[in-house]
Structure formats: structure tokens, C-alpha cells
Amino acid sequence: MISIKTSREIELIRTSCQLVADAHRAVRDLIVPGVTTAELDRLVERLIRSRGAEPAWKGYHGYPATICASVNAQIVHGIPNDHPLQNGDMIGLDIGCRLGGYYGDQGYTYPVGDLSPETWRLMRVTLESLYKGIEQARPGNRLSDVTGTIQAWVESHGYYIVRNFVGHGIGRKLHEEPQVPNYAPLEKNPRLKPGMVICIEPMVNMGTEEVVVASDNWTAAAADGLPSAHYEHVVAITSSGPEILSVRLEDETASLEPIRQKV
């Protein structure tokens, strides 16, 4: 069953999402060659707990860390470690928290030092696909209007949608109905209604849609070892259209411009 949120519940989700956005701000300038993902993990956990919240991932089905840190070909669910990041790496950070009984969630892919033009282009197209999908998150549209738009943009640029992992509803639970894939057609294709809150999160591989999962049973990576990008926003469906809950307004343009300027 898809939960329809009240305006109060949407504000509580927004509050949790803004804490997650603060965590992204706290670490983004620290993502440089030589830093370890374990260091980033410790910083984010301290910040989340200092605000009276709980990390969403830590302990979730046994996951051992606060952030998911996925480097280069890793798509999602990378476990933080003590290996220093290298110049030319890219890293996807997925951060979540629970505050006031409601969850917030946001994923973003960052450059580490100097990236190749090919990697910048992958990041740009993936981020653009997210916003194009969000534009379709309007009352009366079907979920496939969102997911099919993402797929069409990604594939028109020669990249591959990851089908093994999907977005989701969010609220009192971290993962709620509906599932939000990044492709169409869909087995379940509900009509979008005001009060629905969904996580839209394209995961895009440069060279293949095939995925392998590491022996840690968490870290998922592109089977060909080529880069993968991941971006995620929490979006409320309102009577006037989609509303992004996971970033404050001043960050939306800033998040796009650095990538536009590179390619």
C-alpha cells in the first residue's frame, strides 16, 4: 500500500532530509585525494547524532556503517574503509537519517581531484536524468512517466540503467511502496497523487547494465569495471507539481553548475 502523507508528515520528512543535506555539505569539501571513506563515515555519524538523529543505514539488515561510499565502478552500498581516495576517482555517497520518526535520504556522486572528460560526462548525464524524471513527478502522471523519462535520457547518451536496484517511497519507514525503478514499462505503475513521497535515484553505468556483488554481500559494482554514477532526491508529489525535499533551494543550481562547466 502506498502511504499518502499529510502536510505535517511532509515537513517532518523535509527536516530529516535537510539534516542529510547538511551532512553532504559537511563532507563535500573534504573529498580530496588522500582522504579515506572511513574518515568521512565517522564525520557524518558524529554530525547526525549531534542533531539528535540516528543514522538510517547503520545496523539496517546488518549494514555496518553510517554512509554508503561507492568508488568508481561501485554502484551502491560500498562499505567505508581505510583506503585513501586517489586523484581521478569518483565517489557516490548515500546518506540517510531518522529524525522525529521520519527518514531522510540523499545520494550524490562527487569527483576526487581531476576527472577524465568521459567520467564528467557520465556524472552530468546521470544528474540531468534525475531532474528530468523529477519534472514528470506530477499528479495525474503514472510512475512510468518518471522512470521512462530517466531511461530515455540515459540511453540516448549511450549509457546503461542499473536494473538490480531501484528508488522507493519513504516516510516512517526507510523503504516504502512504491518501488521506483529507472526504466519502463513497469509491472506496477500507480498514478501519482498529492501526498506521495518518493526517492528518485538513477544509477547509471558507463559500459554495461550487468552488476556483481562483492563477497561482503553489500558492495554492488558494474561487472565490466567501468565507472557508475548515482544521484538521489526525495520528492513530494504536490497539487502544484514535484517538490524536492532533500536540498534547500540554493543548492539545486549549485549542484548542476560544476558539472555543466566541465563538459
Provide the residue-wise pLDDT of the chain in tens; the chain has 263 residues.
Answer: 999 999 999 999 999 999 999 999 999 989 999 999 999 999 999 999 999 999 999 999 999 999 999 999 999 999 999 999 999 999 999 999 999 999 999 999 999 999 999 999 999 999 999 999 999 999 999 999 999 999 999 999 999 999 999 999 999 999 999 999 999 999 999 999 999 999 999 999 999 999 999 999 999 999 999 999 999 999 999 999 999 999 754 555 555 556 655 54
What pLDDT, in 10s, does the model give residues 66-115? 999 999 999 999 999 999 999 999 999 999 999 999 999 999 999 999 99
47-71 CB burial, b ≥16 within 10 A, e <16: bbeeeebebbbbeeeebebbbbbbb
The reported pLDDT for the residue numbered 249 is 46
The reported pLDDT for the residue numbered 247 is 78
Alpha carbon distance 90, 72 (integer Å): 5
1 exposure class (CB count in 10 Å sphere: 0-12, 13-18, 19+): exposed
The reported pLDDT for the residue numbered 234 is 97
The reported pLDDT for the residue numbered 248 is 58
The reported pLDDT for the residue numbered 255 is 54
The reported pLDDT for the residue numbered 262 is 57
> Residues near 16 by Cβ (< 8 Å), separated by ≥ 6?
53, 97, 98, 99, 100, 102, 103, 104
Q: Which domains does the chain have, with CATH numbers?
A: 7-262 (3.90.230.10)
Alpha carbon distance 115, 160 (integer Å): 20
The reported pLDDT for the residue numbered 5 is 98
The helix (H) or strand (E) run that includes residue 96 is strand 90-99
